[in-house]
Structure 1
Amino acid sequence: MAIIGAGVLVLIIGIIAALMHWGEHHEAGEAASHLGATAVHDADAHEGHSVLVRRIIVSLWHSNVFFIGVSVVGTVFMAIQYVAYAGWSVIVKRINEALSAWLIPGGVLLVVLFLIGRHDIFHWTHEGIMTKGSATYDKIVAGKSGFLTLGFYLIRMISYLTIWAVFSWRLRQLSIQEDLNGGTSYFHTSVKTAALFLVLFAVTSSMSAWDWVMSVDVHWFSTMFGWYVFASWWVSGIAATTLIAIFLKQAGYLRFMNSNHFHDLGKLMFGFSIFWTYVWFSQFMLIWYANLPEEAVYFNQRLGGFEGRYTWMFYFNLVINFAFPFLALMTRDAKRQMIIMKIVCIAILIGHWSDFYLMIMPGTLKGDNGFLIEIGIAMIFLGAFLILVTRRLVSASLIPVNHPFVEESVHHTT
């Protein structure tokens, strides 16, 4: 609640700053008449309100897509542990289950945002853009009309969210029933359920990245983008799992969780920060090398475009998402110290929220971006996310007492 309150305060300050044009510089001609100046002021005020509404809608979309990704990764992580018959991770299994609590409210909000704010987020939804002979006709966008249609888009969106939510709910129910009744039948059913979910997620995660993020820059495309978005979601989800585990441990819970568990979680964050960088570099290098205008425009906007508004964040993205986790977690001891792990987890979550900012804002807000409104909305989302996660955490034992591998996890060593 404190985080939500602070977020509301930052959001209000950001809205006031946008309405008052704080930090903006306007030059007016000295010879302009009073009537002309008034007309310009009125036009600026109207445009300011339009930009403000657009910023709020796009920021809601940005933070919601990020938190939905973190949420579903909780289920993905748990499903991978099931199909791998992994025992060490049972100790954090309930945290993974709790992360998925955001899927349904986040999914509903995503659908509502698309219905009421799609014109502010997606250029391809504008009237006449796919109609030949229209003043706003765009041949490139019209070529994608078979995929980018309102009805088909909504069907896909609802399908992704439904699949993720249903499988998350099913795995959670099997886990609770296992706690109550014991036996190994629930575990074997969970393995089969997890295997099916992972197959479906492999397809839907990439498609959701195309729909929710890549179609913002509707002229641009990348065959690696699905992997890129997944890598950002994945390492963020692992960081969220680790950070919650640290806070629970420091609060006196999860007493069976030891430095060996943190070591393994640290190795995952270390490894997948490198994986994210590999995908980032592969995408960037191929586009840079080919130097095709329809591909290079994406990086031109982020490297010097819009008067360089995103250039510093482009480099900050690499520092906080690769250089810092790589250097901080390089040693074995670093992965076993909660203070270092806590700092790295927070940095990764901030860094990949910024990564999604860099993916979405240049294609939607162009040079009208800002940070106060966006940070305020992100804090509100974080507070709401934590409320739902903690409610689910307290609804069952933090240790799955009848899981077949619980003893292996409790006595885990590396």
Structure 2
Amino acid sequence: MAHVTNFNLDQKFDFTAALKKSIMLMGGIGAILLVIGIFTSMGGGEHGHEAAGHGTEHVEAPADHGDHAAEAGHAEESDHHAEAAHEDEGHGGYHWSKRFFANLWINNVYFAGIAIIGVFFFAIQYAAQAGWATAILRVMISFGNWLPFAAILMIVTYFIAGHDLFHWTHHDLFVEGGAHYDKIIDGKGGFFYWPLAKGSFPIFWVARMVIFFGLWIFFFNKLKNLSFQEDLNGGTSYWYNIRKWSAIFLVIFAVSSSISAWDWVMSIDTHWFSTLFGWYVFASWFVAGLSSITLVTIMLKERGYLEMFNENHLHDLGKFVFGFSIFWTYLWFSQFLLIYYANIPEESVYFIERLSSDKYGAFIFVNLIMNFVLPFLVLMTRDAKRHTIFLKVVCTLIIIGHWVDFFLMVQPGTLGHNGGVGFMEIGMFMLYGSVVIMVVLTGLSKKNLIAKNHPMLEETYHHHI
């Protein structure tokens, strides 16, 4: 390691007071906007006269499916109107707290995903025996520091607001012959309530959330601690051990990330389903996580850290961001095209509700422009991937853009016409983001920034593309 020893391998990230102040300022502005948003919703009762249920827009049945499709379309329309009416009847219509809870859920799911992607990308490097990214392994794993906080926030939010967020939690949907009985949701009841009675306590659903977060936090701590022990003791045994644990984690993550997407997001639109939804949510999480890792890496490099990290490594990160932006778009388009082409009412209602809404329709296009068009055009050339200014702009756009993606997944199903992007949404995103950044950077500052005894450190030094 003659070359590598020229670098300071014991450097630690100094989380300065000035940087903390900047992050706290962002959080403070977010908190002020959030409070303004709450008071605006309380005072104006924004759209309070409209149904707050599961999208109350009129959905026409596609004509070319004949009478059967028309019948199904009308049934679907009735279901949605009934669902909306039930929400109003059971909870006194729209209330500002519903919008608050919907925003809390969007940010919970979004930032929990970015946190676990840090651990996932770390594990990928070991499973693939990759050496190029050794200099930034600690940046990746540091995102996992948010997972314990995410777990608490997710579980608490469900117990406080689950009834407002998830239509399937209403017990009378499962009472056969009752005024609100829903055959479709009753058929899915076991997925939420097993082994208890449908409409009671969703122990199966809650248990999955607890188990998934428990496993993610366990593997985060296991991989992180093994990596730090390698710093102290050296040798290759730790690398083999981390590789083994990474392989186990990747299998568990493949299953848990898909099921969590069904549980936490797709079940909001209880009647609707998509067979590739798990992949879609993973892709959205992954490109947002990659962008976050890239931004933190650039921030460190600009402050004089990560000396061996150069434009070749930056190019690789740029290629990942570029490639997985296209991958996310491929999944978005695949899901949309298949539903559009099949023209089945119970599937197409998801997109019709969003596209025909004056609250959400425009954001479909904002989503595609921020997450595909701009990243594709800006990062298309080799040079763009090797300059921090382009990557900083694109990664920031992507992080905001994929928040919009989750906003579109959650709000129409929880708030119907009462949603939208206002002070409350912007404020909570800024507040949440600043707290996550504080937690991640605090964790990053506690140990060595470089995995100094990693057996592939020399490969990082010589990495050239």
Alignment TM class, shorter chain as reference: over 0.9
Structure 1, unaligned runs of 5 or more: 27-42
* Matched letter for residue 190 of structure 1: I
Aligned residue for 1:146, secondary structure, equals helix
1:408 aligns with 2:459: yes
Aligned residue for 2:273, secondary structure, equals coil
Q: Which residue of 1 aligns with 2:54?
A: none
The partner residue of 1:135 within 167, 170, 179 is 179
1:190 aligns with 2:264: no
Shift of 1:47: 6.1
CA separation in 1, counterparts of 2:45 and 2:299? 38
* Matched letter for residue 384 of structure 1: V
The partner residue of 1:83 within 117, 121, 127 is 127
RMSD of the TM alignment (CA)? 1.7
CA separation in 2, counterparts of 1:94 and 1:127? 46
Q: Which residue of 1 aligns with 2:433?
A: 382
- Does the Cα contact within 8 Å between 1:61 and 1:113 map onto a contact in 2? yes
Which whole-Å deviations, capped at 9, do the CAs of 1:227-272 have from their partners, x for residues lacking one?
A: 0000000011100000000111111211221000110000001110
CA separation in 1, counterparts of 2:106 and 2:169? 18
The partner residue of 2:280 within 202, 217, 228 is 228
Matches within 5 A, 1:163-312: 163-305=215-357, 308-312=358-362
Q: Which residue of 1 aligns with 2:62?
A: none
How many residue pairs get matched? 394
Q: Which residue of 1 aligns with 2:28?
A: 5
The partner residue of 2:43 within 20, 36, 43 is 20
CA separation in 2, counterparts of 1:114 and 1:17? 25
Shift of 1:24: 6.4
- Does the Cα contact within 8 Å between 2:231 and 2:453 map onto a contact in 1? yes
The partner residue of 2:385 within 335, 343, 351 is 335
Percent of aligned pairs with the same amino acid: 50
Shift of 1:345: 0.4
Shift of 1:23: 7.6
Which whole-Å deviations, capped at 9, do the CAs of 1:104-136 have from their partners, x for residues lacking one?
A: 111111011111111111000012111212222
CA separation in 1, counterparts of 2:374 and 2:44? 35
CA separation in 1, counterparts of 2:411 and 2:107? 11
Q: Which residue of 2 aligns with 1:144?
A: 188
Which whole-Å deviations, capped at 9, do the CAs of 1:140-195 have from their partners, x for residues lacking one?
A: 00000110221000111111111111101100000000001111111100000000
- Does the Cα contact within 8 Å between 1:95 and 1:245 map onto a contact in 2? yes
- Does the Cα contact within 8 Å between 2:38 and 2:96 map onto a contact in 1? yes
Runs of 4+ in 1 over 2 A off after TM superposition: 22-26
Q: Which residue of 2 aligns with 1:155?
A: 207
* Matched letter for residue 232 of structure 1: S
Shift of 1:375: 1.5
CA separation in 2, counterparts of 1:132 and 1:188? 56
- Does the Cα contact within 8 Å between 1:51 and 1:368 map onto a contact in 2? no
Q: Which residue of 2 aligns with 1:114?
A: 158
* Matched letter for residue 80 of structure 1: I
Which stretch shifts more, 345-354 or 132-141?
A: 132-141
Taking structure 1 as the reference length, the TM-score comes to 0.93
Shift of 1:380: 1.3
Matches within 5 A, 1:36-51: 50-51=94-95
Structure 2, unaligned runs of 5 or more: 1-23, 50-87, 194-201
Taking structure 2 as the reference length, the TM-score comes to 0.83
- Does the Cα contact within 8 Å between 2:46 and 2:418 map onto a contact in 1? no
CA separation in 2, counterparts of 1:76 and 1:23? 41
CA separation in 2, counterparts of 1:180 and 1:411? 24
Q: Which residue of 1 aligns with 2:72?
A: none
Aligned residue for 2:305, secondary structure, equals coil
* Matched letter for residue 238 of structure 2: Y
CA separation in 2, counterparts of 1:195 and 1:92? 20
Q: Which residue of 2 aligns with 1:36?
A: none
Which whole-Å deviations, capped at 9, do the CAs of 1:348-384 have from their partners, x for residues lacking one?
A: 1000000000000000010101321111111111111
Aligned residue for 1:128, secondary structure, equals helix
Shift of 1:2: 1.4
CA separation in 2, counterparts of 1:341 and 1:96? 17
Q: Which residue of 1 aligns with 2:55?
A: none
